[in-house]
Structure 1
Amino acid sequence: MKRYTTQINNKQLVLVSEDQKEIGRIVEMNKFFSSGHYIIFNSRSFDIKNVGFLKNDAELFNSRGIIYFTDLGKERIIKSGADVRIYNFKLGKANQLFEKGKLLIEIITEEKKKLKYPTYHVEVDESVDDLLALFFLHYSTQDFSSIGGDGD
């Protein structure tokens, strides 16, 4: 398993490896009339759009189209394109992503009372694309994600 943690840098959530190398970052953009997020990974930008009923689902896309999208009702993330894959997630004290019953990603929140932002500890299976890890980190840590969780 690959082990990552998060750091806050200029209000950006940065995912770093154990040897402190940046894997990618989740950026919040605030414009006068709107706000949103995007991911920077391998020097490329990927946009995130909230969609669906109550905007509880998300799509990750770039100029070529949608890469991953969520289905909160069925608690899954779907990889689109030629190599379609379906991942199931479970949100709770530990946010987990599975494929065919195999745990691929686990995110544990470490909240320190003195810090404004929590630290996330992320364990990722060696076979998982780090872009998926960043997207799941973003999605599972958003305020609306608790709707699908079981509250434990």
Structure 2
Amino acid sequence: MKKYTAEYQKKHLVLVSESRHEVGRIVENRKLFHFEEYITFDSKKYDIRNVGFLKNDVELFDSNVVTYFTDLAKERIIKSGEGVRIYYFKLKKTSQLTEKGKLLIEIREEKRRYEKSIFHLEVDHSVDDLLTLLFLYYSTKEFNSIGGDGD
């Protein structure tokens, strides 16, 4: 298993490896009438679009091609395009992502007094880091009071 840590740097959530090398970041830009969220990974920008009923689902896309999307109703993330894959998640105090019963990603939140939380991730070696960043984004967001419920 690979071990990562995610910490907030200003408004960005940055994912770093054990050797403190930046893997990618989740960026949130808020301007007067413009709000944008995206993931930077391997010098590429992947836009995040909230979709679906109550905007509780997410599409991650690169150049208008959807790479991953979520299905909250069935608690899954789907990789689109060639080689479609379906991953199932549980959003609890310790969030988990599985495929065919095999644990792929586990995220634990370390709450700190007077500071933003730090997230500790254990990721299977077979998992794409872009999927890791998307699951980190999705598991740390509060979509209309769902997700990360402390159970």
Name the CA distance, whole Å, in 1 between partners of 2:110 and 2:30: 26
For 2:97 and 2:32, the matched residues in 1 are separated by 35
Spell out the pairing of 1:1-152 with structure 2 (5 A cutoff): 1-63=1-63, 65-115=65-115, 117-144=116-143, 147=146, 152=151
Structure 2 alignment gaps of length 5 or more? none
| 3-state SS of 2:134 partner | helix
Q: Distance in 1 between matches of 2:67 and 2:14?
A: 21
Distance in 2 of aligned mates of 1:147 and 1:92: 10
Call closer, same or farther: CA 1:57–1:80 in 2, change over 3 Å.
same
Percentage of pairs with the same residue: 62
Deviation of 1:35 (Å)? 1.6
Q: CA RMSD in A?
A: 1.5
> Runs of 5+ in structure 1 lacking a partner?
none
Q: Matched residue pairs, number? A: 151
Q: Structure 1: which amino acid aligns with 2:101?
A: G
Question: How far apart are residue 39 of structure 1 and its match?
Answer: 0.3
Higher strand share: 2
With structure 2 as the length reference, what TM-score do the two structures score? Answer: 0.95
CA distance in 2, matches of 1:150, 1:40: 27
